[in-house]
Chains A and B, each alone.
Chain A
Amino acid sequence: MSESPPSPDALKQLAPEQLVICHECDLLMAKMHLADGEKAQCPRCGFELYHHQANMLTRSLALVLAALLLFVPANFMPIMSLGLLGQHNNETVWSAVLALYQSEMALVALIVFLSSMLIPLLKLLCQGWVLLTLQLKLPAGFALWLYRIYHQMREWGMLEVYMFGVLVSIVKMVDLGDLSMGVGLVCFIGLLVCQIWLEATMSEHQVWEMLDELRTEQQVDEVMDEACD
Chain B
Amino acid sequence: MKRAIDAGFMLCLECHAVNRQDPDNPEAGQICTRCHAPVYPRRPGSLARTWALLITAAILYIPANLLPIMVVSSFGKGSGDTIMSGVIALIHYDMVPIAIVVFVASILVPTFKLVGMGLLLYSVQRHQPLSARQRGVMYRFIEWIGRWSMLDVFVIAILVALVNFGSIAQITAGMGAVAFALVVILTMLAAISFDPRLIWDNTESEEDHDE
Contacts and interface: CB of A to CB of B under 8 A. Distances in A.
Interface of A: 8, 11-12, 16-17, 19-28, 44-47, 50, 79-82, 84-85, 87, 89, 91-92, 95-100, 103, 105, 107-109, 111-112, 115-116, 144-145, 147-148, 151-152, 155-156, 158, 161-162, 164-166, 168-169, 171-173, 175-176, 204-205, 208, 211-212
B37 A148 contact: yes
Contacts of B185: 111
Interface of B: 1-5, 7-11, 13-20, 33-37, 90, 93, 95, 98, 101-102, 105, 132-133, 136-137, 139-140, 146-148, 150-165, 168-169, 172-173, 177-178, 181-182, 185, 188, 192, 196-197, 199-201
B151 A164 contact: yes
A46 B177 CA distance: 37
A99 B159 CA distance: 9
Nearest to A28: B4
Given A26-B197, A26-B200, A103-B172, A96 B160 contact: yes
A112 B16 contact: no
Given A87-B168, A105-B178, A45 B9 contact: no
Nearest to A157: B147
Contacts of A211: 34
Contact of A26 (B3, B169, B178): B3
Contacts of A152: 14
Nearest to A173: B162
B147 A112 contact: no
A24 B160 contact: no
Nearest to B19: A16
B169 A84 contact: yes
Given A26-B3, A145-B36, 13 more contacts: A8-B7, A24-B136, A26-B5, A27-B3, A45-B133, A46-B136, A87-B165, A89-B161, A105-B178, A144-B35, A148-B15, A165-B150, A208-B35
A165 B158 contact: yes
Contact of B34 (A82, A173, A176, A208): A208
B181 A108 contact: yes
A24 B16 CA distance: 11
Contact of B11 (A21, A176, A205, A208): A21
Nearest to A103: B172
B160 to A, nearest CB: 5
Given A25-B200, A91-B162, A168 B15 contact: no
B188 A155 contact: yes
B5 to A, nearest CB: 6
A91 B164 CA distance: 10
Given A155-B188, A158-B147, A82 B162 contact: yes
Given A16-B19, A165-B157, A23 B98 contact: no
The interface centre, meaning the residue of B2, B9, B139, B199 with most chain A CB atoms within 10 A of its CB, is: B2
Contacts of A85: 165, 168
A61 B10 CA distance: 32
Contact of A19 (B3, B18, B95, B133): B18
A155 B15 CA distance: 15
Contact of B177 (A108, A169, A204): A108
A124 to B, nearest CB: 18
Contacts of B17: 16, 208, 212
B197 A108 contact: no
Nearest to A152: B14
A45 B157 contact: no
A109 B161 CA distance: 11
